Structures are given as C-alpha cells and as structure tokens.
C-alpha cells in the first residue's frame, strides 16, 4: 500500500467505510455463530460473512484499485460470484445432515419427513 497517499479523500473514506462495514458484518456473523442456541439458528449467522460481508470488501477493493490504477479493476466480482454460487452446496449438505440427525432422534423441533413411509420416491 505504498501508493495509498495518491488516493483522493472521497475514495479513501468510501473504501474505509466499506472495508469496516464488511469486516464488521463478518465479525457479527461470527458472534452470532457463537450466540445462537440451535444448529438451524446458527446456520444463518455465517451467511452475513458470505453475503454483504464479502460484498462490501470486494466493492472496496474494486474502488481502491480502480482509482489507484485509473482503470476499472473488476475481477473481484468473480470472488463474490463464486462465493454465492458455492455457499449453498455446503449449507445444504450440513442442513440435510442435521435434519436427518434430528429426525432419527425423534426430535419435535423439526418437521416430520413426509416421505418416511414411502422411501422409494426419494
């Protein structure tokens, strides 16, 4: 960051705000993961980090390097795209595993499996 002194004030303020917002959202998400009680509540907290937590930092990076390099730097968009495309894979695997666990324990907190009596249709 040796060229940071060339950054105009408006861009510096905007980038600082976005980086702090993104890092703050990710931190709040981490706190939420710790605070929530059940698995299904906990699963919501990290999505703060994978949505606008990432998004704000990515936008900040695009602004910073576009202004410094005086040409549009857009490849960070791909980070956001790939994160939002791959998050559902892990989340759905975890959620289905938890659902299976709770159902086989006979927990009343999860809705019953309406296909349980006809397993062939799965």
Partner 1 sequence: MRRILPYPVLTASLVIVWMLLNAFSLGHFLLGLVVAVGASRAMMQLEPSKPRLRRWQLIPWLCGIVLLDIARSNIAVATIILRGDRQARRAGFVSIPLDLRDRTGLAVLACIVTSTPGTAWVEYDSASGVLLIHVLDLVDEQEWVDLIKTRYEATLREIFE
Q: What are the residues binding partner 1 (CB under 8 A)?
A: 25, 28-29, 31-32, 35, 38, 40-41, 43-45, 47-48, 50-53, 55, 74-75, 77-78, 84-85, 87-88, 91-92, 95-96, 99, 110-111, 114-115, 121
Residue 56 structure tokens: 């704000």
Q: Which is nearer to partner 1, 4 or 88 (CB)?
A: 88
Show Cβ contacts of residue 70 under 8 Å, excluding neighbours closer than 6 positions: none
CA–CA dist 83, 73 (Å, integer) = 19
Q: Which is nearer to partner 1, 29 or 57 (CB)?
A: 29
Helix (H, G, I), strand (E, B) or coil at 118: coil
Residue 29 structure tokens: 């998400």
Q: What's the min distance (Å) between Cβ of 111 and partner 1?
A: 5
Q: Which is nearer to partner 1, 7 or 102 (CB)?
A: 102
Q: What's the min distance (Å) between Cβ of 12 and partner 1?
A: 23
Q: Assign residue 70 a region (left: φ > 0; alpha: ψ between -120 and 50; beta: otherwise).
A: left
């Amino acid at each position: 960051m040796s060229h940071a002194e060339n950054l105009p004030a408006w861009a510096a303020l905007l980038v600082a705000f976005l980086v702090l917002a993104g890092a703050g959202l990710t931190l709040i998400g981490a706190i939420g993961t710790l605070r929530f009680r059940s698995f299904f509540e906990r699963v919501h907290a990290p999505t703060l980090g994978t949505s606008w937590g990432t998004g704000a930092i990515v936008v900040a990076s695009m602004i910073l390097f576009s202004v410094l390099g005086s040409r549009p730097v857009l490849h960070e968009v791909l980070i956001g795209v790939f994160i939002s495309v791959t998050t559902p894979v892990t989340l759905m695997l975890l959620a289905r595993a938890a659902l299976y666990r709770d159902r086989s324990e006979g927990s009343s907190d999860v809705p019953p499996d309406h296909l349980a009596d006809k397993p062939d249709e799965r």
